[in-house]
A and B are shown apart, each in its own frame.
Chain A
Amino acid sequence: MSLNTVVWNVGVALGYIVACESVAAWLRLSHIPPIIWYASGVGLAALLLRGLSVLPGILVAAFICALLGEASPELALLSMAAIGLQLTFAWWLLARVLKIDVALSHVRDVVVFIAVGCTVVPLLNAAIMLLRDYLRGTAGDPVELVRSQVTAMGEAVGILLIAPFILAIAAAWRRRRSWSMHVESLVLQVANATVALVVFGGMMASSMSAESLPYAIFPLTYWAAFRLGMRDTALALLVAATIAVGCHSLGVGPFVMAHSTPANAFAHYASLYLFLIVLSSTSLLAAATQQEREAAEAGVRESEQRYRTLIERMNEGVNITDAQARMTYVSDRFCAIVGYPREELLGQTGAMLTVPEQHGAWEESHRKRRAGLSESHSLTMRRKDGSLLHVWISPRPQFGPDGAYAGSLNVVLDITDRRLAEDRARAHLDQLAHVARVASMGEMASAIAHEVNQPLTAIANYASASLRLMQDNRMSPAEAMAVMKQLADEAERAGEVVRKMRGFVRGEDGHPVHIAVVDLFADVLRLSGPEARAHDVVLEANAGTGSLAVTADVIQLQQVLLNLVRNAIEAIASSSAVVRQVTLTAMLADNGMVEMRVTDSGPGIPADDLDRVFTPFHTTKSDGVGIGLALSRSIVEAYGGRVWASAPSAGAVVHLTIPAA
């Protein structure tokens, strides 16, 4: 047996004896039967709190109390056994069978405690007393019968008052209270004691109705129940009941009546008991109800806090929008992703964050949400500091009870880094194809120069040598003829190079196939994407009806478009344009041609240069050869198309036509 258990047993025993003897002392003073009995309540509460380990203390205390009550040792042992049996049975029912929470934190616990705890012990007690009367041969004696009934009810009320008080104190032992709560508690308890004294101490004028007066105590115990909790409620009840019973036993108070007959005597006590039971049980239930609600509210708060923490700690940003797509909630993370403070975001729509070129995409996604579609999509935004931001948005549309669109909960993931990483990874593959294709124009210029240089060098050498030899008459006609033959061969070779080149740009080397413009644009977007992003340029394509198609060599046509797109991106990159966009569009033009346009928001083309940009070796770029657009034109013209430039009010447009398939 641990020291802790010993201490508890001694404490419980002392508590039991004090509860028992204080009532006994009062009874000796007033010479009336015990009309309220706290000892059983103390014992039951101790058992509920500490289990059977405190039973020895209770038994010892019960034995001592019986001896102090002038019983013989045999009778005291019997009394001790009876009390031990009653309490253990009640404890077993409550704690083991019905499994109540000893903190009485739920309404069920209070109901079970009142229904079982306050009835089992008194009923057993009454049964034992009846058995004793029967054994003593005093059964059926009216005085003893009333005595048994009154004792049982006194015990029930005692348990109802003292046990919840002890349990509430134990449950609230470590709970801290604010100063104002302490003051309120003190005010309440003083007011309660005062009202109890006034009501039950017979201090009111007799003109007040005796029946309704006791109800004055209800507001106070309910005040305790709703404002201060189980502990103050139990204390207020204990104090009020003790005062009521004390005064009653002294013959004062609203429940006092003549008790000459046994029936009257029972009524004399029963009406007070009934009042106290109603007062206690309703007040305790009220306190439990309030406690339960507070716990539920705390639970809701806690869970809300938990979800809030979860949302705020998520890598994804979260926002909630109303039916008009205005943001009504934004998480800290969302604010961090877009770089705007919360107050600048609330009440605004996502359009404010989206780059102008993507407003269409943003509106489309809003439409889809209204239709209840929770399709995830990417969007290009701009942070407050102006930097580009790529996000992946997963919306969850919300609908009101009437089925109307109420808004959307959107999870927003910053994929800028991921997009850049993907770009870099893909760049290794794409760049090869990209550079190879775009650079091939410049490469070709170099190759042509080399190919033509070789015969020209030989021709120059032959001519120079012949001049010298002929001047000195050192060359025979046969020798001269051989040299002339060489010169003709070399000139022929140079011509062959030029012919080959023209053959290439005419598309003679190409393999014309059926090309869907949608696919062509998709390839160009994919190949030029990394370069566009590298220069902060938004690249978009609109292939018109989607059924547009041309007949040409895929590689050559890609080369032409890549070259035009690259020029457009470079034009923007070399400028400080705010709107940075290159758009590919296609439409069916007259005379069976498909017209494609490469529109850029760059500095545009000076009117004088509009006709010259397609001239070979005309370039404005420091590292350009000036052959890209010229070759593009050759290729397009080889297919019977046309290419020209125009300069609208802002930016530049290059148009090209290719016969439709």
Chain B
Amino acid sequence: MPASDAIVYVIDDEAPIRDSLAMLLRSVGLASMLFPDAPRFLAAAPWRDHACVIADVRMPGMSGLELQDEMRKRGVALPIIIVTGHGDIGMAVRAMKNGAADFIEKPFNGQVLLDAVHRALAHAAAPPASAAVATEGDREDLERRIASLSPREREVMALVAEGLPNKSVATRLDLSTRTVEVHRAKVMEKMGARSLAELVRMNIAAG
């Protein structure tokens, strides 16, 4: 594993979560700094260019969303990965719209988290110009994929990307939950999204 100058800031009020995340990151050669809450992280202000933040959405003192706002106010442009518990998908979607790099649902697969961290670090390291070009290419690709969706699938995608559970989507569209599940799987496949977070990101990018 190549040593890297990259560092991941982990902010979670639960020690076992922090420790296990640190070990997981170490297993792929990533350094980490642990903080039990957002104010202490902000106070330490350990800003480095090649870094990203993993923050729980629900924390005493300051929530992940508030941390996001506070960082923007201070001009800190580090990518943030929001970790959510049960029933917090709506908050996570808000965080994404607010500029979060990603969100991950607890309990999560280690690989999914590591993928998200790598993506965020790559984004943080990439020069702005190339990022813009990449976005241009991505954009065409995205539009092509959205065009391949049926009208019903587009409706399902819009609601799912708002963070609504399948059951609520079914009620809104007057469909059975089973049908929504099928549509949702189809949307994920056609859009090439591996996670809900990716779908949310695509939906935001597509406007």
Contacts and interface: CB of A to CB of B under 8 A. Distances in A.
Interface stretch (A154-162, A313-321, A483-491, A500-508): A483-491
Interface in B1-50: 1, 14, 16-17, 19-21, 23-24, 26-28
Contacts of B17: 454, 457-458, 461
Interface stretch (A4-12, A233-241, A410-418, A462-470): A462-470
B64 to A, nearest CB: 15
A626 to B, nearest CB: 10
A120 to B, nearest CB: 102
A449 B23 contact: no
Contacts, number: 85
Contacts of A490: 16
Given A446-B86, A453-B106, A622-B167, A486 B16 contact: yes
Contacts of A449: 85-87
B20 A486 contact: yes
B107 interface: yes
A302 B149 CA distance: 82
A460 B107 CA distance: 8
Interface in A435-478: 446, 449-450, 453-469, 472, 474
A623 interface: yes
Interface stretch (B108-116, B119-127, B151-159): B108-116
A461 B167 CA distance: 30
A111 B174 CA distance: 93
A465 B26 contact: yes
Contact of A465 (B1, B16, B23, B108): B23
B1 A472 contact: yes
B59 interface: no
B-side interface mostly: helix
Contact of A461 (B24, B28, B87): B24
A457 B108 contact: yes
A454 B167 contact: no
- Residue among B16, B110, B170 facing the most chain A CB atoms (10 A cut-off): B16
**Dominant SS among interface residues on chain A:** helix
Nearest to A625: B167
A166 B23 CA distance: 126
A455 B168 CA distance: 28
Interface residues of A, number: 29
B98 interface: no
B171 interface: yes
Given A464-B110, A465-B110, A457 B86 contact: no
A461 B110 contact: yes
B27 A465 contact: yes
Contacts of A472: 1
Nearest to B15: A458
A455 B24 contact: no
B14 A454 contact: yes
B24 A465 contact: yes
A381 B177 CA distance: 40
A458 B108 CA distance: 9
B86 A462 contact: no
Contact of B106 (A457, A467, A469): A457
Contacts of A465: 20, 23-24, 26-27, 110
Interface string B107-149: 1111101000000000000000000000000000000000000
Contacts of B170: 622
Contacts of A464: 24, 27, 109-111
Interface core residue of B27, B28, B110, B167 (most chain A CB under 10 Å): B27
From B20, B85, B87, residue with most partner A Cβ within 10 Å? B20
A461 B23 contact: yes
B85 A450 contact: yes
Contacts of A483: 23
A468 B23 CA distance: 10
A486 B15 CA distance: 11
Given A449-B87, A454-B14, A623 B171 contact: yes
Contacts of B26: 465, 469
A468 B24 CA distance: 8
Contact of B167 (A450, A462, A623): A623
Interface string A388-422: 00000000000000000000000000000000000
Interface string B153-191: 000000000000001101100000100000000000000
A245 B109 CA distance: 136
A64 B150 CA distance: 123
Contacts of A446: 86-87
Contact of B171 (A454, A459, A489, A622): A622
A440 to B, nearest CB: 15
Given A453-B85, A483-B23, A458 B171 contact: no
Interface string B94-109: 0000000000001111
A460 B110 contact: yes
A457 B14 CA distance: 11
Nearest to A622: B171
Contacts of B85: 449-450, 453-454
Max count, chain B CB within 10 A of own CB: residue among A457, A462, A466, A483: A457
Contacts of A463: 110
B110 to A, nearest CB: 3
Interface in A327-386: none
Most chain B C-beta atoms within 10 Å of own C-beta, residue among A446, A455, A458: A458
Nearest to B177: A622
A454 B20 contact: no
B16 to A, nearest CB: 4
Contacts of B21: 461
B19 A486 contact: yes
A626 B26 CA distance: 41
Contacts of A474: 27
A458 B109 contact: no
A469 B27 contact: yes
Nearest to A456: B107
A460 B23 contact: no
Contacts of A466: 23, 27
Nearest to B110: A464
A468 B20 contact: no
A642 B1 CA distance: 60
B156 to A, nearest CB: 15
Contacts of A459: 20, 107
Nearest to B85: A450
B16 A460 contact: no
A542 B23 CA distance: 63
Contacts of B107: 453, 456-457, 459-460
27 contacts: A446-B86, A449-B85, A450-B85, A453-B86, A453-B106, A453-B107, A454-B17, A456-B106, A457-B106, A458-B14, A458-B17, A458-B19, A460-B107, A461-B113, A462-B20, A462-B23, A464-B110, A464-B111, A465-B24, A465-B26, A465-B27, A469-B23, A469-B27, A486-B19, A486-B20, A622-B171, A623-B167
Given A489-B16, A622-B168, 16 more contacts: A449-B86, A456-B106, A456-B107, A457-B17, A458-B19, A459-B20, A460-B20, A460-B110, A462-B20, A462-B23, A465-B23, A465-B27, A469-B26, A483-B23, A490-B16, A623-B167
Interface of A: 446, 449-450, 453-469, 472, 474, 483, 486, 489-490, 493, 622-623
> Which 10 A-B residue pairings sit nearest by Cβ, starting from the closest?
A464-B110, A461-B20, A449-B86, A468-B27, A622-B171, A458-B16, A465-B24, A465-B23, A465-B27, A456-B107
